[in-house]
Every structure is written in C-alpha cells, then in structure tokens.
Structure 1
Amino acid sequence: MTPWFLYLIRTRSGTLYTGITTDVQRRFSEHQSGGPRAARSLRGKGPLELAYAAKVGDRTRAAQLEYALKRWPRTRKERLVAGKIHLDDIEP
C-alpha cells in the first residue's frame, strides 16, 4: 500500500495551500513549474515554499485531513507548521 501525505505550501504572499499526494517532492515540483499539473490557485504566486509535509496513511485519511485543514483559520495552520500542534491530535 502506497502511503499518502498531507502537505502545505506557502506562497510569496504567505498564503498556505493544502494538498495531498503520494510523492511530495514530485507534486511540489509540479506546483513550482506552473504547468498543466500545477494547482491553478498557485500559478503565478511563487516563489513557493514547502512549509509542511506529513505521512498520514491511506488516501481516505489523507482526504479527510485535507478537508478538515482547508477549513482551519490561518493561525491554526501556522501552529501546525511550527510544530505546536500535531496531526495525530486532530480528528478529521
């Protein structure tokens, strides 16, 4: 079973984009390139920084966590990036 990851990318303006993937480096490179596989919301907003990545289990769990994190306020996401809270403590 291929592990899934949850990641956060910081844009030039400081916005945090949340996504899931099985290969963080490949997906980050796709976002940085700005090509057809990059998220539209990140195009032209570079330079991009991979702010956070964590293995979260299977695709279902990854999607649940992504859904939950996209509803978090920025301050809570920043606490996750800083290591002040952990995904293990979160119920999706």
Structure 2
Amino acid sequence: MSSLESDWFVYILKCCDNTLYTGITVDLLRRVDEHNGSPKGAKYTKARRPVELLYSEKCDDKSSASKREIAIKKLSKIKKLELVG
C-alpha cells in the first residue's frame, strides 16, 4: 500500500520538558521512533527527547490530517490536554 492509499494520522507528543508537539504521519510507531532517536525527527523534538505519544487520530487522507493538525496547533495547551483526555 503506498502512502497515497495509507491511513493518515495526526498525533500529539509530550516532550521531556512537558511541552506538546503535534504532527502528521502514515506510520505512528516509526514516526515516534524517529522523534526519539533519528536524525529524521523534528528539530523541535530533537532537543526535547525523549518524547511520548499522548494522542493519535485517524484521518481519511493527507489533506484532512494537515487541516486537523493546523486546528490542533491553534488550541491552547489546556485544550490540547483536554483533547488527549
């Protein structure tokens, strides 16, 4: 299955400094591993390792995942934590 046909996810990570990071991916486990120990991890999370996956949400496609990511990034930290539950 190509990434065009794969499920997309929006996710929230908790960094070691208690900040939150939001992103999108087609492979949650791989992406969390990248954030924790790979040069492919985001610049933001590289300085805040280890990270922990707090939340993920399945999306229909990359476009809807990107739109949801933007919406989540606009939320306050309190609202993001409420979303996480």
The TM-score, its normalising length taken from structure 1, stands at 0.83
1:14 is paired with a residue whose SS is coil
Local SS of the residue matching 1:64: helix
How many correspondences in the alignment? Answer: 81
Q: 1:4 is matched with which residue?
A: 8
Q: Which structure 1 segments of 5+ residues have no match? A: 83-92
2:57 to 54, 59, 71: 54
Question: Alignment partner for residue 28 of structure 1, among 19, 28, 32?
Answer: 32
- How much does 1:44 deviate? 2.5
Other-structure match for 1:18 = 22
TM-score, normalization by structure 2: 0.90
Query: SS of the residue aligned with 1:41?
Result: helix
Distance 1:16 1:56 in 2: 20
**Per-residue CA shift, 1:36-65, capped at 9, x if unaligned?**
211000112122111111211110000000
Distance 1:21 1:52 in 2: 13
